[in-house]
Structure 1
């Protein structure tokens, strides 16, 4: 699928769609479409908004897709401005890697699978929006590399540490040199290639769709000293036992992922748009106390199994979800008014 011929075909389809749009009625380029815009939301747990209850149940229960995730909130924000989205599907699913856009995804229970996310695209889809890349990078494994507590208490967070024989206390050094750096470089190369494939596939299966890749909100603040204080009402530090020296390394890794995603959108045949959440959430990280938009690693989320809450594992809380929705809605409004 990711061949020069396929990319040329996708580029031609996008160009044709652009020409048709330019050939529309006079003045139409300055106003959002009056008819509802057929839209598909895709993505991983940051689009599904893992941790926010209640979540959708049924065949996709273990996707942990919140009923009020950012696609739902952004759709309402746009409706309030007179911009209607016809949401054909929201196939975002916790744990999704980029390749689950074109391959089925196995969920927590063995044998329970969901179809490839690209199956939701239709010929008349005009907007495709979502976040992917963090799981392919292995950010959960990176967190476990840096935290003894996650290695023992993070049983619901998929993945193992990159190298369980290396002490968590030395994870900063591990990712900056030797095998850890080589592993990380290889993962970034994989993310870049897979995002190129994802954007090509959207253009192929939905030739007239505007493609919007949504980045991830910032987790670690510039001033990491703020991470040495628990949030109001919490006893655990925002990043549990991850050392202060390792936090800048985690931030550098996230910033690099953000740059890779931004470049993938910019380099896509026909062009794609990018929502830079990292740039807009520096004052609302997991370490910003009452203003935090990210739930702490081991802070109780809204989801319960029996009598026990599942931790946030550094996912957006309700404040963070609303910040995601605002940035996405603003970008979609801008795109549809172009």
Structure 2
């Protein structure tokens, strides 16, 4: 990536950090309530052929395509941990910051799948229902879903509360945000579960794979040059990502869907490790934006999903 391109992508980083949360500081947290599967509020799925971008809402998003056009139909849904902004080529269409080397593209190329990738940085569960679900149809054979971290401002609450406090005594972020985070987690689980019900209703014959989030920080130790938060808050952020992974697993298990435990697979690959799968606070030389997955993480996730297929 050229210096100019890195600079352009870095200019999006402030938004992209809140792209984990998908809404700005002045916006209220998104509601978790979703329409029940089958309600008219959910777009009717297409039944034949590949989804047509022209069928998307006018204010919707543009998909990316990859893999083998004649292969089994695969639709990738999710947020920035599925879209992988900056890894390394990023599509700026409609602001989704979607990479052509995100795990969906890697998986589709490896497995000969006909990919429609509608993952979008900043997406929450309601965004998937409104803007991404219309690309899932009755002929879809595989769906992957990575979602939940943006609901109720989960990650942005932690980012705002934790960053910039390196060297502070105690666990100031834990004290400031833990009550709101703990209240949000069960509601996120409910929202993800309802979203999965929509996916199953739209593609009843598809294999649906819920893909979790990676481990971000070590339970012990710190790396303030990469993640400038108080040492006492590292265990809190580590536990939060583990709790989020657990609720995604529960949502999948309750519906007899597959779950890929990226959190478990990424142990030893946190930001502070010698072989990190997630970037720290600076835009990397390869273009990976702060606090988002490297290409190595996306390749590893693709391999984990491939093991299920």
TM-score scaled by structure 2? 0.72
**Alignment map for 1:1-338 (pairs within 5 Å):** 3=36, 36-57=71-92, 59-60=93-94, 62-78=95-111, 84-87=112-115, 89-103=116-130, 116-137=131-152, 138-148=154-164, 170-175=172-177, 180-181=178-179, 183-225=180-222, 227=223, 237-239=225-227, 241-268=228-255, 271-289=256-274, 291-300=275-284, 302-303=286-287, 312-331=289-308, 333=309
Task: Give yes or no for contact 1:65–1:92 (8 Å, CA) kept in 2.
Answer: yes
Cα separation, 2, equivalents of 1:185 and 1:76: 39
User: How far off is 1:6 after superposition?
Assistant: 5.5
Cα separation, 2, equivalents of 1:301 and 1:213: 30
Task: Give yes or no for contact 1:222–1:282 (8 Å, CA) kept in 2.
Answer: no
Task: Give yes or no for contact 1:238–1:299 (8 Å, CA) kept in 2.
Answer: no
Task: Give yes or no for contact 1:295–1:301 (8 Å, CA) kept in 2.
Answer: no
Structure (1 or 2) with the larger CA radius of gyration: 1
Farther off after superposition, 48-57 or 125-134: 48-57
Structure 2 regions of 5+ residues with no counterpart?
1-33, 40-69
User: How far off is 1:296 after superposition?
Assistant: 0.4
Task: Give yes or no for contact 2:71–2:114 (8 Å, CA) kept in 1.
Answer: yes
Q: What is the root-mean-square deviation in Å for CA atoms of aligned residues?
A: 2.4
User: How far off is 1:130 after superposition?
Assistant: 2.2
Cα separation, 2, equivalents of 1:54 and 1:172: 36
User: How far off is 1:131 after superposition?
Assistant: 0.4
Task: Give yes or no for contact 1:127–1:211 (8 Å, CA) kept in 2.
Answer: yes
Task: Give yes or no for contact 2:211–2:260 (8 Å, CA) kept in 1.
Answer: yes
Task: Give yes or no for contact 1:98–1:132 (8 Å, CA) kept in 2.
Answer: yes
**4+ runs of 1 displaced by more than 4 Å?**
none
Structure 1 regions of 5+ residues with no counterpart?
8-34, 79-83, 104-115, 151-166, 229-236, 304-310, 334-338
User: How far off is 1:301 after superposition?
Assistant: 5.8
Task: Give yes or no for contact 1:97–1:132 (8 Å, CA) kept in 2.
Answer: yes
Cα deviation, 1:184-204, whole Å, max 9, x if unaligned, reads 133112211111111111111
Give the number of aligned pairs.
243
Cα deviation, 1:69-111, whole Å, max 9, x if unaligned, reads 1111112222xxxxx3122x110000001111122xxxxxxxx
Cα deviation, 1:12-35, whole Å, max 9, x if unaligned, reads xxxxxxxxxxxxxxxxxxxxxxx8
Task: Give yes or no for contact 2:84–2:102 (8 Å, CA) kept in 1.
Answer: yes
User: How far off is 1:293 after superposition?
Assistant: 1.1
Cα deviation, 1:106-152, whole Å, max 9, x if unaligned, reads xxxxxxxxxx10010111111111200111152122122111379xx
